[in-house]
Amino acid sequence: MQVDRARYEADLARRRFLRVDPENRLVAASLEAEWNEKLRVLADSERTYERQRQSDQAAVNEAQRTQILALATNFPKLWHDSKTPERERKRMVRLLIEDVTVRKAEEEVHLHIRFRGRATQTLNLPRPRGYCEARKQSPALVAQIDRLLDDYNYGEVARILNERGMKTGGGLPLTTTAIGYIRIGYGLKSRFDRLREKGLLTTSEIAQKLGVTKETIWRYQRMGLVRGHPYNEQNASLYEDPGLNASRKTSRPNLSSTHEEVQYEAL
């Protein structure tokens, strides 16, 4: 930088001297003296730079020189060294490669690399997948979800698949929400529809069939008198059909008793 600055100032002094009117001898002499001074400073800067350059070269001994030259033949080791910062890797690439021509095909990307030593190389790589495609669920995961929904709700399906080590297309653990999105995205039947296809009844339907209220059905479910199958995380259930000739016999609670006796003979 000192040499460049001195060279610039010397060139500026020369142009000033050449533009002066020769008839103005006093100014011309002053400018010529200034030009000579700038040339002297430039010469001193160049000598200082050359001495420093030679000193720096002498500071590298033969062993270090051999080690530096060996880096050219041991490029992978230097590239993969954890101590090599990313900025140095970028500099290495710029020093090695002249340019890269990229051509996109339907399934592949063709890279034509031209190195600074005039060597060339062509690489054919798989085309990178898009964001949505990269997060596409595996067929094996979708198939397992489809099978498990026959017997389990979303939360149970997520727990079972996590225990089996399954992940989403983005590599995340499966959750109730994720199972729901996958089911909708891949057009799988819902847990509700699967139970309905097996002939299970809604709360209103079984209540009407037994001639009781919905609240009574829920109480019967807690007591184990009717069997319900949850289809969501709020524990909403569909119920097994008790049969066409189902009857019930409910004895009202004895006012002197603290327990309600319920007999459900058909079940």
Look up the CATH number of the domain holding residue 91: 2.40.50
Give the mean model confidence (pLDDT) for residues 12-40. 90
Percentage of residues in the chain having pLDDT higher than 70: 87
211: left (phi over 0), alpha (psi -120 to 50) or beta: left
- Asked if 183 and 190 count as a contact pair (C-beta separation under 8 A), the reply is yes
Within a domain: 101: yes
Tell me what pLDDT residue 58 has: 67
In a domain, 13, yes or no: yes
What CATH number has the domain bearing residue 236? 1.10.1660
Which pLDDT tens digit goes with each residue over 28-57?
A: 889 999 999 999 999 999 999 998 888 776
CA–chain centroid gap for 129, Å, is 12
- Residue 249's pLDDT band (cuts 50, 70, 90): very low
**Which has the closest alpha carbon to 147: 166, 134, 132?**
166
> Is 18 a member of any domain?
yes
How much is the pLDDT for 260?
37
Q: What is the pLDDT of residue 131?
A: 54
Please compute the mean of the pLDDT values over residues 152-169 and round it to a whole number. 89
Tell me the two tokens of residue 205.
Answer: 């339907």
Residue 243 lies in a domain: yes
Same-domain check for residues 115 and 134: no
State which residues form the domain around 179: 130-188
Stretch 140-166: mean pLDDT: 91
As a whole number, the mean pLDDT across the chain is: 83
Structural domain includes residue 68: no
Indicate if the pLDDT at residue 18 is higher than 80.
yes
Same domain, 228 and 170: no
Report the percent of the chain where pLDDT is more than 90: 29
Contacts (Cβ under 8 Å, ≥6 apart) of 28? 17, 20, 21, 22
Compute and round to an integer the Cα radius of gyration of the chain.
43
Task: Please check whether residues 209 and 264 belong to one and the same domain.
Answer: yes
